[in-house]
Amino acid sequence: MGLFDRWKGKTNPEPAAFPVDLSAPARGTVVRQEDIPDQLFSEGILGTCIGVDPERGEVYSPVDATVTALVDSLHAVGLKAAGMELLIHVGVDTVEMNGDGFTAKCKVGQKVHKGDLLLTMDLAKIAAAGHPSCVILAVTNTGDFAAVEPVGNGAVAPGDILLTVRK
């Protein structure tokens, strides 16, 4: 292998091995896509997704990724990993809270690892505002993959597999 080949290998890493497992972004109980109390998610308009009814006010990265978006109201984070475009959306209509009760633990452009804390949320404030607190994990470019399969159910913790993505 010549010098150029070694250099080239460093700038063009091997593509991620599929299937890729996406883990729970929160500790709680799995909410199936069709039961998510938001039509954009329950009907799959934003891609295949799954939710977690959280027990704690912590949201974690489901995979090694790069943070691509953090909305001003801090209720949603965009991630990119292995060609997947992921959206973690906290609650339903929580954009109306204008960030009250949410704290970002990441920033756009940051590399995060599976299990890294991305956001915290005050579950009591979300409930007091009358919003469901479901933490939704969506693969927004679902059509780019052969399958995005929900595999999680029941009680889950960060690190437990929720979705499997196949190329």
Which residues participate in catalysis according to the annotation? 89
Nearest-angstrom CA–CA distance, 160 and 9:
32
**Rg of the chain's alpha carbons, rounded to an integer?**
17
- Cβ proximity of 101 and 13 under 8 Å: no
Q: Interior CA angle at 59 toward 55 and 61, to 5°?
A: 135
Residues 6+ apart with CB under 8 A from 31: 50, 51, 52, 53, 134
Nearest-angstrom CA–CA distance, 100 and 30:
25
Q: Please name which of 7, 44, 14, 1 lies closest in space to residue 163, comparing C-alpha atoms.
A: 44
Strand-pair category, 20-23 with 161-166 = antiparallel
| Amino acid occupying residue 139 | V
